[in-house]
Amino acid sequence: MNTIPNHTSFTLLEPGPVVFVTTRDGSFINIMTISWTMVMSFEPRFAITTGAWNCSYAALEQTRECTIAIPCADQIDLVVGVGTCSGRDTDKFTKFGLTPISGKYVSTPLIAECMANIECKVVDIIEEHHIIVLEGLAAYTADDFAQRQMLHAVGDGTFIADGAKFDRRKAMAFKLPRGC
């Protein structure tokens, strides 16, 4: 085994899907790129990590809602672009040519160009750890969802796209929620 610097150990666990999180603050809609996400249960319950340093945090705190939009690997430059500018001085929907779509349960927009979207409400904010706990209210996928690859951030400026899939649904059927 090779030893790596401990301060880089997060890159071993980091590669969950990169997501966009949309928020609304009055009439202003914003998008942030988040690579720190966690599935908490089949409920569906999720967590993202963000805090007051992010322009969207105040809207999350105030409105208690957001949309998670999942871009695909082909959108890597879009992901980096959205994540490296601030909503404080940039209308990201306009700058990046993204199409907001109204959801059914929250006022925050879905993103038409993404492979999937999940409308969410905030159920808890754990300030000490910058964790926002979300409950999924409705989920949508693009027509070509199965043909797209998810993008995963390693955390060091590099990314990985989904590759081969290994089907073990039969062996795991008793563990999976009905309909999965």
- Give percent above pLDDT 90 in the chain: 69
* Rounded Cα–Cα distance for residues 110 and 66 (Å): 9
| Each residue's pLDDT tens digit, 127-164 | 999 999 999 999 999 999 989 999 998 888 889 998 87
CA-nearest of 4, 13, 55, 57 to 35 is: 13
Domain ranges of the chain: 16-175
- Do 18 and 35 form a contact (C-beta atoms < 8 A)? yes
What pLDDT score was predicted for residue 120? Answer: 97
pTM score, two decimals?
0.90
The CATH number of 16-175 is: 2.30.110.10
